[in-house]
Structure 1
Amino acid sequence: MSAFFFGKSKQNKNFIWILALTFFIVAFLSFSAKSKGKQNSATFSNEADGIYKPVLDNAGIFSKAELNQLESFIANLDERTGIQIAVVVVKNLSGEDIESFSMKHAEQYKLGQKGTDNGVLLTVAMKEREVRIETGYGAEGILTDAVCARIIRNKITPLFKQEKYFEGIESGIKAIASVLASDETMTENQSQAENSTEEDEEESPFSVLAFVFFVVLIFVIFGRGRNLWLLPFIFGGGNSSRRNSDSFRKGGGGSFGGGGASGHW
């Protein structure tokens, strides 16, 4: 009789331990997914110190406060409207023309939402004293070449000539954002994407729970509980290495066709 109760007690402890471990893994995966979603929602440019940011300042023209201010504006714009703007400032173009340089990086970042193509890249080359606005396919109809040239001529280069580079870039991206946000076709697809994402987030915990429970059950049946301690490493080991291997966090899948304008100061 005592052996029976002892065995039953042991089984109950194992069951409770397995149940607790299952919920721990589900909570861990849910937290990781949410953290990754938050990280991805506002970051679509180059990587610095392991953190993806929408402004790449290789020339070192911004103070930390200025950089944070630009990133905050761009991140909020992306979150509210789905419009993605990136800024790239380089010391020089290494002999490449700014049009080719800008187009190459715009295609690499894939700024803007797929189908809407509402991304914009603002490129500044300090040595050449050149600036370019590169527009996505979908943005070309409203952010025309003429509008881009006017923004460069009236909002950016006058301040650049006074060596007010932060003010010029801030003025430029705000003018770009104002033009794009005034057109519903540039923002309407974002709400659909958000609704789809919310539905996926609501459904995902159940699928994760089922998967985790299945794996735990396999361990219990075939491993008799001896290898359960490996589970946290199995479920948590892959994410960090994958994040670290990505040199760029791409945008929403937008396309570019060479639209935009360039200028000098």
Structure 2
Amino acid sequence: MNTRTRAFTALLLALSLALVAYSKEVHYLSSRVNDYAGILSPECIQRLEQTLKSHEDSTSNQVVVLTVESLEGEVLEEYSIKVVDQWKLGTKKNDNGVLLLIAKDDRKVRIEVGNGLEGSLTDLISGAIIRHEIVPAFKDGDYDGGVEHGVDAILKAIKNEYQVELEATDDEQEIPWEIMLIVSGIFLVVVGTFTTIALLSQGAGSWFLYAFLTPFWLAFPPAIYGARAGLSIYGVFALGFPLAKYLFAHTVKGKRFYQKYSKNFVGRGGRSGSSWGSSSGSSWSSSSSSSSSSFSGGGGSFSGGGSSGSW
């Protein structure tokens, strides 16, 4: 790999690391209602806490509310996934967590649904709850009413008791195909380039890039194409990458393919990849921190199910 290519690759990675470093931090999980935007009355917070605690005690489902003043330029769906990845709502066994996220200044709202509850709290129902229960109240400036109506509808939906006429237009049609095409192209150029570099590199740097790219493959495809298609794409990356590395190392055709393309694309030895791993590993680990609290998540997993809206 020539000097110009090395410099360009290093610049792209530096920009990616900068975006991660300066992205909006995840707030501290202090309770079931985390009103960091200050939009809810104390009485409303108390009622919600009691309702959600009672539901969790009887079902183990963890439904949590988070309000923030601003997303600070982040994409709503990406920030929501970042929150649930850190908070780990729901139990590890059942993946039964739900996050109701409200960004006041951005006028956006999202319901993020854990894997174990996607069968009852579907994307369509989540979208209906936002449109029919939350947004009308928010438009009138009634944040207490919007959040309480939304939480009540979420709990009913989990128990298959929420009744609403689902609209023919669902979330899969909300993103125009032109926008989807542009975003897909950008994603493939940027993330696809680094994935190829990781695939054709050797040493620890290759696997560092694999770990670094995993959140991008996990977050972007579900946000663009929906949970099912997005998870399928992520599965191809998660399983295909190690399989390809194995074939490159242990099969005749794989070795020939690697020898043919790796020289021109990333060079031999993967030395630049190793330096990436050593220089940025500390900043990556320092960006996440753990803290003890009387209330915490139980290890639940999320994969992009839910819906978003605005008012």
Tell me the TM-score range normalised by the shorter chain.
Answer: 0.5 to 0.7
Contact kept? 1:109, 1:249, Cα under 8 Å: no
Give the Å deviation of 1:46: 3.9
| Superimposed CA distance per residue, residues 29-55 of structure 1 (whole angstroms, 9 cap, x where no aligned partner) | xxxxxxxxxxxxxxxx945xxxx3111
Matches within 5 A, 1:50-69: 52-69=30-47
Higher-Rg structure is: 1
* Correspondence for 1:151: 129
Give the Å deviation of 1:138: 1.0
The counterpart of 1:250, out of the listed 260, 285, 296, is 296
Query: What is the distance in 1 between the residues matched to 2:40 and 2:122?
Result: 28
Give the Å deviation of 1:66: 1.3
Is the alpha carbon distance of 1:82 and 1:245 closer, same or farther for their aligned partners in structure 2, counting shifts above 3 Å? closer
- Uncovered stretches (5+) of structure 2, i.e. residues with no partner: 1-26, 162-289
Contact kept? 1:149, 1:262, Cα under 8 Å: yes
Give the Å deviation of 1:63: 1.6
Give secondary structure in 2 for the equivalent of 1:79.
Answer: helix
The counterpart of 2:155, out of the listed 161, 171, 177, is 177
Amino acid of the structure 2 residue aligned with 1:260: G
* Correspondence for 2:249: none
Query: What is the distance in 1 between the residues matched to 2:126 and 2:160?
Result: 15
Query: What is the distance in 1 between the residues matched to 2:83 and 2:33?
Result: 13
The counterpart of 1:113, out of the listed 87, 91, 97, is 91
| Superimposed CA distance per residue, residues 8-29 of structure 1 (whole angstroms, 9 cap, x where no aligned partner) | xxxxxxxxxxxxxxxxxxxxxx
| Superimposed CA distance per residue, residues 177-230 of structure 1 (whole angstroms, 9 cap, x where no aligned partner) | 1111249xxxxxxxxxxxxxxxxxxxxxxxxxxxxxxxxxxxxxxxxxxxxxxx
Query: What is the distance in 2 between the residues matched to 1:181 and 1:109?
Result: 23
Query: What is the distance in 1 between the residues matched to 2:79 and 2:137?
Result: 23
* Correspondence for 2:104: 126
Give secondary structure in 1 for the equivalent of 2:153.
Answer: helix
Is the alpha carbon distance of 1:257 and 1:63 closer, same or farther for their aligned partners in structure 2, counting shifts above 3 Å? same
Query: What is the distance in 1 between the residues matched to 2:119 and 2:93?
Result: 14
Is the alpha carbon distance of 1:150 and 1:88 closer, same or farther for their aligned partners in structure 2, counting shifts above 3 Å? same
Query: What is the distance in 1 between the residues matched to 2:116 and 2:155?
Result: 14
Amino acid of the structure 2 residue aligned with 1:179: A
TM-score (normalizing by structure 1)? 0.56
- Uncovered stretches (5+) of structure 1, i.e. residues with no partner: 1-44, 184-243
Give secondary structure in 2 for the equivalent of 1:259.
Answer: strand
* Correspondence for 2:305: 259
Is the alpha carbon distance of 1:146 and 1:94 closer, same or farther for their aligned partners in structure 2, counting shifts above 3 Å? same
TM-score (normalizing by structure 2)? 0.48
Amino acid of the structure 1 residue aligned with 2:138: F
Give the Å deviation of 1:106: 1.0
Give the Å deviation of 1:163: 0.6
Give structure 1 regions of 4+ aligned residues with deviation exceeding 2 angstroms.
Answer: 244-250
Query: What is the distance in 2 between the residues matched to 1:85 and 1:146?
Result: 18
Two-structure CA RMSD over aligned residues (Å): 2.0
Is the alpha carbon distance of 1:259 and 1:245 closer, same or farther for their aligned partners in structure 2, counting shifts above 3 Å? closer
Give the Å deviation of 1:65: 1.2
